[in-house]
Amino acid sequence: MTPQMATLLADYNRWMNARMYEAAGKLDASELAADKGAFFGSILGTLNHVAVADLIWLRRFAQQPPSSAALEALSGFPRPDSLRQTLSSDLASLRDLRERLDEIIVRWAGELTPGILSTDLSYTTTAGVASRKNYGAVVQHFFNHQTHHRGQASTLLFQSGVDVGVTDLNAIIPASEA
């Protein structure tokens, strides 16, 4: 993981979340909350999970020196203690939280350096297990986790008659100059 890749993935994350929430906004509340048999039940449950996991990981990153100016903004956000916690039962308020969270992620990614990414991150899982892993690899997991669950949400939306459209990272990778 490089700082440039983290920045690209943060931009992709924000772009895809905007597309995902725009698509979800085409459905009524009952369809968004309907249990579709997915791991987190519904479209709304899946979107909630992505935000919950982001908050949990970002708080772990915030505990790692050096301090991050961007992650200091997490003080105004919920502190989930379960990966199944519901942050919001309606799309509008979850979307507001998501947009504010994505702005923090973009700013935080811009603060990452090769030195930070080469260190280890020590944290405790939600199950209480102490862990120590390479910071850069965990940042890669952070972004991969979002993509994984957005893929699930995209499928659920498609099954509900809403096409999210292009979801490829390649869509936002800048073209190289000749």
Q: Mean pLDDT of all residues in the chain?
A: 95
Task: Give the helix/strand (H/E) hosting 26.
Answer: none
Q: Which residues contact 176 (CB under 8 A, 6 or more apart)?
A: none
Say yes or no to pLDDT of 178 above 80.
Answer: no
Number of residues in the chain? 178
Task: List, in sequence order, every beta strand (DSSP E) within the chain.
Answer: 120-124, 130-134
Q: What digits encode the pLDDT tens for the residues 15-50? A: 999 999 999 999 999 999 999 999 999 999 999 999
Q: What digits encode the pLDDT tens for the residues 58-90? A: 999 999 888 899 999 999 999 998 888 888 989
